[in-house]
Amino acid sequence: MTTNENLQGILHIAGVDEVGRGPLAGPVVAAAVILHPARPIEGLADSKKLSEKRREALDLQIREQALCWALGRAEPEEIDRINILQASLLAMQRAVAALSTLPELALVDGNRAPQLACRVRTIVGGDASEPAISAASIIAKVARDREMVALDTRYPGYGLAKHKGYPTKQHIEALRQLGVSDIHRRSFGPVQQLLK
């Protein structure tokens, strides 16, 4: 679904996306980005399709050239309390609320819309088709990946810098050996199993 044909006249459109729904550890992080119409950014794409080096370069460019951007998050204990879908929507709400410019419309990746103070349109695969959503996916992924690298030094042995909290074989094995830390999501199956 293309959105350009009926967006004329809308001044501020925010792209919104989240990263980190699947991991067993760490927060879910969302970003909201309003791109600057006079400063287009070349090469925006779904963050998962870009190399780490390319993401890092684009992250810097987005932060410098976008009209505004903001991050929002939900912590592991919030994820456990309200479930990962609701926590993702909450992180998105927080990201949009933190923008220095209020958007008139938010384009949200996926098929579930957070409650926002502006109009919302969901777009499945939006991180690949909408530049503002691509920008949000890049900012969110780089921010979360950096945080997981930092958490790796505080919680050594789990391999967080490598797998970023996702349920890899190495991560499950480390959980068995080291036990569940306070950054692990206790409501997620593999963690729940070990707590039993």
- Write out pLDDT tens, residues 176-190: 999 999 999 999 999
Report how far residue 107's alpha carbon sits from residue 105's, in angstroms, rounded to the nearest whole number.
7
The mean predicted confidence, pLDDT, of the chain is 95
Task: Write down all domains in the chain, each with its CATH number in brackets.
Answer: 4-195 (3.30.420.10)
Asked whether the beta carbons of 144 and 19 are under 8 A apart, the reply is yes
Instruction: Look at residue 103 and tell me whether its pLDDT is greater than 80.
Output: yes
With bands split at pLDDT 50, 70 and 90, how would you rate the model's confidence at 4? Answer: very low
Output the CA–CA distances (angstroms, integers) from residue 132 to 84, 106, 135, in the order listed.
24, 10, 5
Structure confidence by residue, pLDDT tens digits, 35-59: 999 999 999 999 999 999 999 999 9
With bands split at pLDDT 50, 70 and 90, how would you rate the model's confidence at 9? Answer: confident
Structure confidence by residue, pLDDT tens digits, 114-150: 999 999 999 999 999 999 999 999 999 999 999 999 9
